[in-house]
Amino acid sequence: MRAMILEKPGMPLQFLEAPDPIPGEGEVLVKISACGVCRTDLHVVDGELPDPKLPIIPGHEIVGTVTGLGVNVDNFKLGERIGIPWLGRTCGSCSYCQSGAENLCDDPGFTGYQIDGGYADVTVADARFCFPVSADYSDSELAPLLCAGLIGYRSLSMVDNDSGRIGIYGFGAAAHIVTQLARHQDREVYAFTRPGDRAAQEFALEMGATWVGDSDREPPDELDAAIIFAPVGSLIPAALKAVRKGGVVICGGIHMSDIPSFAYKILWGERVLRSVANLTRQDARDFLELAPKVPIRTRIEEFALEDANLALEALRAGNLTGAAVLIP
């Protein structure tokens, strides 16, 4: 196999050639055709998330074809195209797993963090955490649905149905998908970008946003809810100020810079601040079934697997329109 591997946080990924992995019990062997680049990968590479497996192959938006089956796999066939997401395994027995909240499992394993992921041409994965994927999408178009899409979907599901005016802070891969979903539900999207990022603002308008502006500006209308995808803690007070009484502010990212202190009065009025963590398999099934019906279209920028470091730098610099996807 060929892979881009992280030996140590803070270092560039290294190209590695190694023997192909062998699928164990309950695992599928997958020939990867595309893997999306997610901001979480940057947090892993930069050492902002605790205790990654090292060395680790990042990547958790994997699309590929099943080329081998371990024993006791009965949900996929050889040759089937599947998706492999962030949630790679759960314990199945903790109180969260038992109560339908496996996204909060006490002993989970995440793809590209504790389990080798998709910055490679081959991988193995626990078949119970893989999904069939729609034939309506190419491999590259599908990849961003597997995390950016899923976390956007889960974030939007935390907003009640009467909330018609949604603010979105940070307009990248997740935002461009959730905007299409929000428009499909007849909501208006107010998109906030890095100050002066005209390209992202044009992109947001193209995806159906009603209003676009710099994240240090206040919107012209009061928002019912806001979703923050940018990893910038100072956006939390900004978003709380922008939402109405009883409105919710949802943090969709796994890591943020520290939140500056703020006056209690911007939370007062029964405003709610919450995060969204990971995904459940039910989220994945529901969203992957819904996406082609909307239909959600993803904007992608392809990079060769060996150029993974360039893709990560482009994401860090805010130079992508849509989602980066690695092609092995």
Choose between 59 and 219: whose C-beta lies nearer to Zn ion.
59
CA dist., res. 136 & res. 129, Å (int): 21
The verdict on 97 binding Zn ion (CB under 5 A) reads yes
The verdict on 104 binding Zn ion (CB under 5 A) reads no
Question: Smallest gap, in angstroms, from Cβ of residue 304 to Zn ion?
Answer: 21
Question: Smallest gap, in angstroms, from Cβ of residue 161 to Zn ion?
Answer: 26
Handedness of CA 216, 222, 227, 233 (dihedral sign): positive
Choose between 43 and 241: whose C-beta lies nearer to Zn ion.
43
Answer yes or no: are the C-beta atoms of 71 and 98 closer than 8 Å: no
CA dist., res. 301 & res. 320, Å (int): 7
Q: 26 forms bridges with which residues in the sheet?
A: none
Choose between 147 and 256: whose C-beta lies nearer to Zn ion.
147
CA dist., res. 42 & res. 51, Å (int): 15
Choose between 94 and 290: whose C-beta lies nearer to Zn ion.
94
CA dist., res. 322 & res. 61, Å (int): 14
Choose between 40 and 140: whose C-beta lies nearer to Zn ion.
40
Strand, coil or helix: 328: coil
The verdict on 40 binding Zn ion (CB under 5 A) reads yes
Question: Smallest gap, in angstroms, from Cβ of residue 205 to Zn ion?
Answer: 25
Judged by CB under 5 A, the stretch of 91-99, 172-180, 211-219, 269-277 that binds Zn ion is: 91-99
The verdict on 91 binding Zn ion (CB under 5 A) reads yes
Among 13, 146, 147, 248, binds Zn ion (CB under 5 A): 147
Judged by CB under 5 A, the stretch of 4-12, 30-38, 219-227, 234-242 that binds Zn ion is: 30-38
Closest to 212 in 3D by CA, of 240, 250, 182, 170: 170
Judged by CB under 5 A, the stretch of 45-53, 147-155, 162-170, 245-253 that binds Zn ion is: 147-155
Gyration radius (Cα) of the chain, Å: 19
Judged by CB under 5 A, the stretch of 93-101, 136-144, 236-244, 272-280 that binds Zn ion is: 93-101
Judged by CB under 5 A, the stretch of 27-35, 144-152, 198-206, 290-298 that binds Zn ion is: 144-152
Among 16, 49, 69, 94, binds Zn ion (CB under 5 A): 94
Among 33, 90, 123, 140, binds Zn ion (CB under 5 A): 90
Q: How far is CA 165 from CA 104, 179, 182, 193, 253, in A?
A: 29, 11, 9, 17, 21
The verdict on 254 binding Zn ion (CB under 5 A) reads no
Contacts of 274 (CB under 8 A, 6+ apart): 158, 248, 249, 250, 251
CA dist., res. 210 & res. 191, Å (int): 8
Enumerate binding residues for Zn ion (CB under 5 A): 38, 40, 90-91, 94, 97, 105, 147
